[in-house]
Structure 1
Amino acid sequence: MSAHIRRLKGAVPLVSRACRRAYATAPASTSLPPPRLNYKNIADNVVYKATNAMNRKSRVTLQTVQDIARTHTEVKNVTNQLNARRNTRSMIGERIRRAAQDKDGKAKEEAMAEATNIKKEITALEVTLATLEQRLLELALAIPNDTHPDAPLGPEEAAVTVATHGPQPIPADPQRDHVTICKKLGLLDQESGATISGASWVYLTNEAALLEMALTNYALSIAVKHGYTPVMPPDVVRADIAARCGFQPRDDQASQIYDVSTSSSTSQDLILAGTAEIPLAGMFANKIISSTSLPRKVVGLGHAFRAEAGARGADTRGLYRVHQFSKVELFAVTDADSSDAMMAEMACVQTDILKGLGLSLRVLDMPTEELGASAYRKTDIEGWMPGRGKWGELSSLSNCTDYQSRRLHIRYRPEASATSPLPAGALPFAHTLNGTAAAIPRLIVALLENGVVFDDAGEPAGLALPDVLRPFWLGGAPNTRIDISWR
């Protein structure tokens, strides 16, 4: 039966159900073990966790965190009772064996009766423990990651500019509106997109299609030069994997997900990935990585699908916010002590890519209300878009610490040495980071609005494009349909 695609109303409940179903019923070959969350850390820091959630506009309340702490205590108590009963069962089993050897019928009968009773108690405790553990998991999954102490507090407007790059922004000018430019130069077919797929689905045509391919290969080349392994990931992922990566919309009314499950795949909920970050993270799921091979750095090209794209007002004009777009994504796995340094390194890769395009840029330290559930710290790079008369986000970069790895079971094995023996106990969880190398439609908007060339009548006649793209232009030279110059 063919797959059906439907827009989901209220993505959070669906993703939560998918996770619970995967944890509880899916066969081992198609699902990961339940997440290994740090319940003790939550229970020991109730006020901080609740305040942190409030600062991030999470729906988690103080009551929720208190419930987690109480349930964690109940789990420990029931676990202790269960262990005690199991120990008693072992001792009764030994009594039964001794009674059988001594041919003491009465002693054996008494021990067998006790064994029956203790078995009932153990079964009841096991059921109680399973229920409590499931409740504890469901409550704790909603807790967002901790927040870097230097992250600005508040909404988007509280973002702090930490750096600027490129030329001075040119004046805002509605004549530079990218939609107008695209119509004049034949670069965008919105009408066919609306007919075939609906609003906010588009066709890139002519030089815009070539520009997408040039930008994609340019960004990949820079990432590979910085040591990233190229990957072509799948665009379809299990909803469970997306949820484990932290894709939990705050607003029940704003769907972010396209469901592509088939009626025959009842054990799996398949979705279109909102970003290549999800399948890239999934590459490392349930793996133990030697610390000597860290960091692991990959760059993937994928299509990003955003079902909520049509709900953002003026941003839905043209290419700025569409339901499907190409995106080159950076992803890294590090040990727990190296993620801050890796974030700085990834920021350099992003800056290299965007500075090479000659755009006016500003780097923002994003505030708490703009952090997704998984992000410990997040920076955005915005580009000046004179036709829109405002800055627009071109890329983002997040350090997710161990948030994703605890859910995806990504661990590493530290290297032992004479002065640093292997630690006792469980292997540590890795840290994961993700960053945009190139969100293609946004880059096209910025390049068109900054690079449009007008004729004597003031009409768009051509484009001035950055010279770094020339080696990646299909055929090695621009199509001569419109005037393209390299700068």
Structure 2
Amino acid sequence: MIDPKLLRDEPDRVRAAQAKRGLSADVVDRAVAADAARRAAIGRFEALRAEQKQLGKQVAKAQGEEKQQLLARTKELAAGVKAAEAEQAEAEQQWQAELLAIPNLAADEAPAGGEDDYTVIEHVGEPAQFDFEPRDHVELGRILGAIDLERGAKVSGSRFYFLTGVGAELELALVNLAMAQARETGFTQVIAPSMVRPRAMEGTGFLGQAADDVYRIEGQEMYLVGTSEVPMAAYHSDEILDAESLPLRYAAFSPCFRKEAGSHGKDTRGIFRVHWFDKVEMFVYTTLEESFAEHQRLLGLEKRFLDKLELSYRVIDTAAGDLGLSAQRKFDCEAWIPTQGRYRELTSTSNCTEFQSRRLDIRGRFPDGTKPLATLNGTLCAIPRAIVAILETHQQADGSVRVPEALRPYLGGREVLEPVTRP
């Protein structure tokens, strides 16, 4: 959540941030009013408690009728204190609810507007050109014996799939390549749980605007995560970390689950947009001051990985209205998908500043006291989308696919994936 002091001292700045996202400022007004009501309730409770304590001292010294009058007042005051305490608790709860509904303030540098108002920062590489009609990843997956969509739908429903043969080998190769890069660049490798309690999901902002895309386990207070950002953000919840240990950098592998609510009719062919996929996610804890440089570092690592896959891509600065609840700024790397004739998101990295750590009570211990830390996340490799880009970019006329050089050691030295059926 945002800093309550910021809401109290600079509400117009928060209203302007809402406008930049294309959102109403009503939630800010409600939060300001709830804060005023909360502080008034605290004042009433504390005044009554002070009177109650003072009365207790007078009762101890009083005698006779005076004591009986004071005792009667004490009884009356006790009921008032109890009511004031309940009022204070209710006001606190209402204020917290309103505060949690306010997104992180978008960076000044982030473009204003919605999904289509991004800014292109750079293009890397030239889109693949072919002297034959390129096949899409669905057809290539069939020819290579790599992707089985029909049986995925039979077993689990639409937007599910099996990776078979070289498809399964490709996934493992990509995971190993991603984890090797993470290890070499100072990240601790993690295998993260894919089921979390509500606090972890809410603490990362995924029960807000993204709630419709989250799978809840019926009959249990558990959720399936859509990204290992969720368990990794909660990993150090309710902890105070020593400043000397920062930054803490993790690279987590986990399955991810998404309802893909609102995507009806989009990307229904193939494995680009699915309900389940595996992913390697980078996650960092650092100071607010260092978070901006760390954000650029995560972007650089994502670009390095896409370079290893020999893909053409562009980097965009996501518009404020397309940011998640927790993000202050987000960069996407979008790879060129030949048969779609456009760039599609493969990775993203977000600076969530102190937003998640305030919700999850994650602080650092510094010479001048404790304060919330900044959290950042970045996709190193979302497996299905990486496979889509590799197959389509490196395909050859006979249906075979050239293996990027960096992946070859993880595929037994293979330079080409050969068809197992006729094109």
* Residues 1:383 and 2:335 are matched in the alignment: yes
Aligned equivalents of 2:19, 2:269: Cα separation in 1 = 33
Q: CA deviation at 1:117?
A: 1.7
- Contact 2:197-2:223 within 8 A present in 1 as well: yes
Letter in 1 for 2:127: P
Cα offsets for 1:438-472 (capped at 9, x unmatched): 011111111000111113xxxx1x11011111122
Q: How does 1:112-191 map to 2 (within 5 A)?
A: 112-165=71-124, 167-171=125-129, 175-191=134-150
Q: How does 1:303-452 map to 2 (within 5 A)?
A: 303-308=255-260, 311-414=263-366, 416=367, 422-423=368-369, 427-452=370-395
- 2:47: which partner in 1? 84
Aligned length: 419
- 2:37: which partner in 1? 74
Query: Aligned match of 1:231 in 173, 185, 190?
Result: 190
Cα offsets for 1:235-258 (capped at 9, x unmatched): 111233112201146488xx3122
Aligned equivalents of 2:339, 2:35: Cα separation in 1 = 54
- 1:48: which partner in 2? 13
Letter in 1 for 2:292: D
Q: How does 1:148-297 map to 2 (within 5 A)?
A: 148-165=107-124, 167-171=125-129, 175-248=134-207, 250=209, 255-261=212-218, 263=219, 265=220, 269-297=221-249
Q: Alignment partner of 1:433: what SS?
A: strand
Q: Percent identity?
A: 34
C-alpha spacing 1:64/1:481, structure 2 compared with 1 (3 Å): closer
Aligned equivalents of 2:95, 2:208: Cα separation in 1 = 21
Q: CA deviation at 1:87?
A: 1.2
Letter in 2 for 1:464: R
Aligned equivalents of 2:19, 2:268: Cα separation in 1 = 30
Q: CA deviation at 1:175?
A: 2.5
- 2:57: which partner in 1? 94
Q: Alignment partner of 2:289: what SS?
A: coil
Aligned equivalents of 1:352, 1:156: Cα separation in 2 = 26
Letter in 1 for 2:77: I
- Contact 2:202-2:208 within 8 A present in 1 as well: no
Letter in 1 for 2:320: T
Letter in 2 for 1:244: G
Letter in 2 for 1:403: F
Letter in 2 for 1:347: L
- 2:408: which partner in 1? 470
RMSD of Structure 2 on Structure 1 (CA): 2.1
Q: CA deviation at 1:63?
A: 2.7
Q: TM-score, normalised by structure 2?
A: 0.94
- Contact 1:43-1:68 within 8 A present in 2 as well: no
- Contact 1:309-1:321 within 8 A present in 2 as well: no
- Contact 2:347-2:381 within 8 A present in 1 as well: yes
- Contact 2:114-2:321 within 8 A present in 1 as well: yes
Aligned equivalents of 1:482, 1:406: Cα separation in 2 = 51
Cα offsets for 1:258-289 (capped at 9, x unmatched): 2224x3x4xxx211110011011111111100
Cα offsets for 1:86-132 (capped at 9, x unmatched): 11111111112222xxxx22232222122112211111111111111
Q: CA deviation at 1:483?
A: 6.4
C-alpha spacing 1:183/1:365, structure 2 compared with 1 (3 Å): same
Q: CA deviation at 1:338?
A: 1.0
C-alpha spacing 1:137/1:430, structure 2 compared with 1 (3 Å): same
- Contact 2:315-2:332 within 8 A present in 1 as well: yes
C-alpha spacing 1:480/1:439, structure 2 compared with 1 (3 Å): closer
